[in-house]
Amino acid sequence: MLLASSGFYVRVDVDGFARLIDGIQEITLAEFTAEESKDIIHTLINMIGGAR
């Protein structure tokens, strides 16, 4: 998933493990477990007023 036009994207594996990638330099900036990814998604959904 590309994050706007920033050049950063999130790569999510089938097991839910996710990585924040600098798409310009192809560098992994952060890695998240499946549980951490789930928590981040729920927080973002709540921040934008999405469905719970």
Higher-confidence position of 5 and 16: 16
What is the predicted pLDDT for the residue at 40?
83
Half-sphere exposure (CA, 13 Å, Cβ side) for 2?
6
pTM: 0.66
**Which CA distances in Å does 33 have to 3, 4, 8, 13, 48?**
19, 23, 19, 10, 23
Tokens of 52: 């719970």
Per-residue model confidence as pLDDT tens digits over 26-52: 899 999 999 998 888 888 788 888 765
**Cβ proximity of 32 and 19 under 8 Å:** yes
Q: Does residue 1 have a pLDDT over 80?
A: no
